[in-house]
Structures are given as structure tokens and as C-alpha cells.
Chain A
Amino acid sequence: MNLIVELFLEFALLSCVAFGGATALLPEMHRVVVENHHWLDDTTFTHLYAIAQAAPGPNVLVVTLIGWEIAGLAGALAATLAMCLPMSILIYLLIDRWEGFAGARWQKAISLGVAPLAVGLIFSGATLIAQAARFDWLAWGLVAATVIANLRLKFHPLWFIAVGAVLGLLGVV
């Protein structure tokens, strides 16, 4: 199958289960892109995640980077569109009826039920990045320090990214 079409279909399918946004998709993107198709290797995948972290914009743009590395500009466009289009169309059609089913028992049940799964997906994304990047104990130290500092202090995430970049440049991690 044409690579661009395949890329589009894979990401369109992923977008339909992206509860918790693109971040929740990290483990599955890794499974599809690195493990199944061997489109990218572990190191490149981690690097792209790092670049997306340091860039402004919605989280979904990590998908753009992945598409670019796999198939250039067409790949970047295909992956981004695939990620946004299915749910955009659905929401365009549903928004006028939302008030009709907002607050219904089944709607609240889905919202309540999906939340713990989304937490699990984000947590899995974090473990996956750690595995793919093959962190040593120093890097794990930085991970732990970031978790504690982020939960305790109210610094903008960009400061953390900057600190990580500097520590990396100095060869600390």
C-alpha cells in the first residue's frame, strides 16, 4: 500500500481512541511506528518527542514530526490531518445535539469510566519514553526531580525543558 495512505489510515484509527489527547497515544504510536512498521527507530522516536515538547502549539504536533520523518511534507500533512479530521467531523455533526445528551446517565458513565483509562495511558506514555530512551540512573534522577519539582512548584513547563536541555548539553544525563 502507498506509504502516505497507510500512514493516514493508521493515525486516523488512533485518533478515534485518543482519550486524553495525543499525549495518551504515545505508547500506541510507538507500537505502530517503531515496533510494527519499523518506520522509525527508538532513538529517533524519543528525539521527536523531545522536539515536540520544546516547541509551541497543541500536543498533537508530535504526530506532525513523526509524519515528517517517515514521509516528508506529505507525511507530515497526512499524519496531522488523520489525527484531527475524524473527530473534527464527528464533533461538527454532534455539537448541536450535545445539549440533548449532555448529562444523560450513559454520557456521564462514559466520562467517568474513561478517566482512569486516560490516566493509565499517560502513565504508560511516560514509561515508554523512559524505555525507548534507555535512561541510565542519572537520567532517572532527572525524571524523579522533575516529577517532584513539577508537583510542588509552579514554574512554567518551559523552564523544566530549558533545564533538561542544559543538563543534557553539559553531559550530565
Chain B
Amino acid sequence: MAKVCRHTPSQPSSGWKNESELPLTATLNTPQSRPDLRALFLGFSSVGLSGFGGVLPFARRMLVEERQWMTAEDFNAQLGLCQFLPGPNVINLAVVVGKRYHGLAGALVAPLGLLAGPFVIVLLLALLYDHYGSLPLVQSMLRGIAAVGCGLLFAMAWRMGGALKHKMLFLPFTALTVAAIAGLRWPMPSVMLGGLLLSGALAYWKLGRK
């Protein structure tokens, strides 16, 4: 917070009024405006609070279209590593965008903004659940939501499976993963390590043939 306060007086001319008086061409020539820490926090807060079941599309809209902190090409390039690494993609993205504008402070503030609001909401829901979760009505409501959520997961898997490249080669690995994880209940770290070695080796070979 202290850092935000020190930044604000140093740029008094960037108030709303002045910005709206800028000629339109100025924004067209420089599509990337540089957010301060406060804007980073608030921007990512709005992303975190607007998405249900995945907020990545909202992150893209905020960054590229609404606030124009990055160009579309920039966004795609940076998203590459976020999707390449495991872990929550959108948190990874917040770290990347935060670091880009404010180094370590930005890399802390952006994911914090993304998580703070939803974190509080989820804990309020958890409090409600702790008090009323034993009521039969609440239990049957959650059961209905779980059934729909389960259906959404199957649909998501179906869509992701449909988007796979070289299906004949790689769909067997999907089947093996399901057998190992859902069927045999093997621990996921070893399944992923083994699966990635085999599937990655096949992919490496396939890429070399072209």
C-alpha cells in the first residue's frame, strides 16, 4: 500500500479528466498503457469476480480489449508459458502481467487482486455451509449442482478431446490416464511423469517426421 501512495503524487496529471482529453490518435499509436499497482489490483479483481467456471476469457478481455495493457499478439505469446507450465493458468498469467509492469511488487499484487475477492466469497459460502450444510434441503441442492457440475466436466473433456491433434496417436494416452487415475487410483504425480515421458517421446518423434 505504501508504494501505491508514493506513486500517486508523482503522476498527478494522469487523472480521468486529462486522459479523456488526450487525442484519440495517441491511444491508437500506443495501444499499451502502463497500469500502476492499484490499477493492476483492481483490474485483476474485476477478472476474478466476473468469471464462473474459468476466468481466462475474462482476463483476455480486460487486458487486451478493455484496458489495452497488452496487444492480442502479446497476450498470446505470454499465455504460452502460462499454459505450458502446470498450475492455475490464470494465476500464472497474473504473475506474468504483474511482473511486466512492476517487477516483484506487480507479480505479487496482480494475483492477489485476482484471488482476494473470490477468496472472501468462497469463505462466506463455506461459513454458510458449516451452519446449514446438514439441512436436507441444502444437501439436495448441492447434490443437484454436483450432478450438473459433473456433466459440465464431461462436456469439457469431450471438447478438449475433440481439439486434440493426431487423435489416433494420442487418444490412447487419454484412455490410459483414465484407467490409471480413475480405475486403478494410482498416484497422479507418477502417472503424469510416466505418461508425459511416453506421450512426450511419441510427440517428439512425430514432430521430427514433418
Residues of chain A touching chain B, judged by Cβ–Cβ distance below 8 Å, are: 13-19, 21-23, 25-28, 31, 35, 43, 46-61, 64-65, 68-69, 73, 76, 80, 83-84, 86-88, 90-92, 94-95, 98-99, 102, 105-130, 133, 135, 139, 142-147, 150-151, 156-158, 160-161, 163-169, 171-173
Interface residue B84 (Cβ < 8 Å from any Cβ of A): yes
For A49, A106, A123, the residue with the greatest tally of chain B CB atoms inside 10 Å of its CB is: A123
Q: Is the CB of B207 within 8 A of A105?
A: yes
- Show 23 A/B contacts (Cβ-Cβ < 8 Å), sorted by A: A14-B189, A28-B181, A31-B188, A43-B139, A46-B143, A47-B129, A57-B48, A57-B118, A64-B119, A64-B122, A69-B126, A91-B85, A91-B95, A94-B81, A114-B199, A120-B176, A124-B177, A130-B150, A139-B143, A156-B52, A158-B52, A160-B152, A161-B52
CB distance from A150 to the nearest CB of B (A): 4
Q: Is the CB of A133 within 8 A of B150?
A: yes
Q: B171-189 interface mask toward A, CB cutoff 8 Å, 1 = contact, 0 = none?
A: 1111111100110010111
In whole angstroms, what is the CA distance A168 to B193 when docked? Answer: 39
Q: Is the CB of A110 within 8 A of B92?
A: no
Q: Do most interface residues of chain A lie in helix, strand or loop, or is the interface mixed?
A: helix
In whole angstroms, what is the CA distance A83 to B88 when docked? Answer: 8
Interface residue B43 (Cβ < 8 Å from any Cβ of A): no
Interface residue B204 (Cβ < 8 Å from any Cβ of A): yes
Interface residue B72 (Cβ < 8 Å from any Cβ of A): no
Q: Is the CB of A125 within 8 A of B153?
A: yes
| Number of residues on chain B facing chain A (CB within 8 A) | 96
In whole angstroms, what is the CA distance A99 to B80 when docked? Answer: 10
Q: Is the CB of A164 within 8 A of B145?
A: yes
Q: Is the CB of A99 within 8 A of B151?
A: no
Which parts of B45-103 form the interface with A (CB within 8 Å)?
48-55, 77-78, 80-92, 95-96, 99
Among A26, A122, A169, contact of B141 (Cβ-Cβ < 8 Å): A169
Residues of chain B touching chain A, judged by Cβ–Cβ distance below 8 Å, are: 48-55, 77-78, 80-92, 95-96, 99, 104, 107, 111, 114-115, 117-119, 121-123, 125-126, 129, 133, 137, 139-161, 164-166, 170-178, 181-182, 185, 187-189, 192-193, 195-196, 199-204, 206-208
**Residues of chain A contacted by B126 (CB below 8 angstroms):** 51, 65, 68-69, 76
Q: Is the CB of A116 within 8 A of B173?
A: yes
In whole angstroms, what is the CA distance A150 to B153 when docked? Answer: 10
